[in-house]
Structure 1
Amino acid sequence: MEIKSFKKLKLYGFNNLTKSLSFNMYDICYAKTDEDRKGYIEYIDEQYNAERLTSILTNVSDIIGANILNIAKQDYEPQGASVTILISEGDEYNEQSENESPGPLPNSLVGHLDKSHITVHTYPESHPDDGISTFRADIDVSTCGHISPLKALNYLIHSFESDIMTMDYRVRGFTRDVNGRKYFIDHKINSIQNYIPGSTKEKYHAIDVNVYQESIFHTKMLLKEFDLDNYLFGISKKDLAPSERRKIKQRLKKEMMEIFYGRNIAKV
């Protein structure tokens, strides 16, 4: 199904369409000892504390051309952090922001949106007995008006070192033109992947599930390259016997596949 692009609509009042992007990322690692698992959680909490997350979301606001009204941020005990930013309409609007193409890294205002919000929550955790640790971050960008929050996706991908990414985008509600005709979407989109650079897509396996008639779009991506040293915390593969390397690699890949496909996989 092809969705037409509606540019320069003469609307009756405010653009009431709500566009929501949910970006979920996962980092997976193996930490052999209790001390290493504790160290991994501490490392993640330091790397992605509320202060740094606030900086990331502030850059997202710049990319989509938003003014920040209020910031609420919190680091949690024993781990995790949350940030919520209330945003309002920016001063600039660029028609290129509606194109189905990757957005920029933060260097200039590229769009316009109306009152809405951006949030992030983090979830570091460890498996109780097999050394697997994971870090998950959930970011939601919800906007009203012309700009799609998908323009922030390129920057978000580059802000996190993600083994797995899950992205959901939905356009809700409708807006009216001056003749009373309803528009349930005001920009062309066939796939979230069209907002991701080719150089990034080459690094990942990707699956799309799209419901065009409901303006619901879903993409998930799994990193192709697997170097065990990139998944070890506190040790390197040269410290492990070949048999232990194989077992750890199997555990890590099982964890990644379960997260990617959203179901438990029986042991072989």
Structure 2
Amino acid sequence: MVARHDKRLKLHGFNNLTKSLSFNIYDICYAPSEQHRGEYIEYIDEAYNAERLTQILTEVANIIGANILDISRQDYDPQGASVTMLISEEPIATEKIGYTEGPGPGPLPETVLAHLDKSHITVHTYPESHPAGGISTFRADIDVSTCGRISPLRALNFLIHSLESDIVIMDYRVRGFTRDIRGKKHFIDHKINSIQNFLSRDTQDRYQMVDVNVYQEYLFHTKMLIKEFDIDQYLFGMGKEDYSPKELKRIERLLQREMAEIFYGKNVGRI
């Protein structure tokens, strides 16, 4: 039996491939009053401060096999936070990272930037609400771009579980090329048919998913929408007992419409 590392590409020099994972994560809630919306923003700001963001990015670096060189972080007044993390590729850890499709281990506001050597991780968060409907949303934009052998896909499950999201929209792309010892160009160094193959079974069971993949361009796109939800988990500042059955039905329709519009990227009207 041939050992797995013996099957790997024998390269001429450094692996120049860039692997970029970009995704949006959305959390939805119902906050009917101005006070409730303010409390929701405060909750988001506290739950995803610079200290927690640093913990999350540290774990991401560990999962993808990178070595942290330096960390800088800052919380802002009245809200927001940022973290900057310098990271380098760690040869010993990357030896243990497989190239086959499969889920990695496995939950941000304001701005996070992590530099690998020639690579980076960024996270930006956007709490948003509108008084007319009582719906508030929290969006996190995450980009993990790596050069060389380490892959951002291994941290995917951890990030999704860290945020317990209602909607996830992801893009993964491999750019550039690297040469083997005979000079042949390789435009990808691992097999991938779908981002879904890197998600754990419990994650796949919780979400309805749609793929749009352009294989010849090494571009993979997956959208995820939560299948079922307990409305009591979406009522910020109040509980089910504070609403009549008729009001709960109306709120549920509002939440479903909000999720559908974000998932499909268009206004869908009443549902």
Aligned to 1:23: 23
Deviations 1:61-106 (A, max 9, x none): 0111111233343434544433332321113123542120001249
Q: For the Cα contact (< 8 Å) 1:97–1:151, is it kept in 2?
A: no
Q: Match of 2:65, SS?
A: coil
- Among 117, 121, 126, the alignment partner of 2:124 is 121
Q: Match of 2:55, SS?
A: helix
| 1:21 counterpart letter in structure 2 | L
Q: For the Cα contact (< 8 Å) 2:17–2:177, is it kept in 1?
A: yes
Aligned to 2:111: none
Aligned to 1:197: 200
Q: For the Cα contact (< 8 Å) 2:33–2:131, is it kept in 1?
A: no
| 1:143 counterpart letter in structure 2 | T
Q: For the Cα contact (< 8 Å) 1:12–1:176, is it kept in 2?
A: yes
Closer, same or farther: CA 202–117 of 1 in aligned 2, 3 Å: same
| 1:102 counterpart letter in structure 2 | P
Q: Partners in 2 of 1:136 and 1:81 — Cα distance?
A: 14
1:155 lines up with 2:158 in the alignment: yes
Q: Partners in 1 of 2:84 and 2:142 — Cα distance?
A: 10
RMSD: 2.0
Q: Match of 1:98, SS?
A: coil
**Superposition pairs of residues 158-177 of structure 1, within 5 angstroms:** 158-177=161-180
Deviations 1:39-63 (A, max 9, x none): 0110011001121011101100011
Aligned to 1:263: 266
Q: TM-score, normalised by structure 1?
A: 0.90
Over the matched positions of the two proteins, sequence identity in percent amounts to 68
Structure 2 gap segments, 5+ residues each: 1-5, 108-115
Closer, same or farther: CA 11–91 of 1 in aligned 2, 3 Å: closer
Q: Match of 2:189, SS?
A: coil
Aligned to 1:181: 184
Structure 1 gap segments, 5+ residues each: 1-5, 107-112
Q: Match of 1:169, SS?
A: strand
Aligned to 1:100: 101
| 1:60 counterpart letter in structure 2 | V
Deviations 1:190-241 (A, max 9, x none): 0000000112101110001110000001111111112110110011111101
Q: TM-score, normalised by structure 2?
A: 0.89
**Superposition pairs of residues 1-268 of structure 1, within 5 angstroms:** 7-92=7-92, 93-94=94-95, 96-105=97-106, 115-267=118-270
Q: Match of 1:202, SS?
A: helix
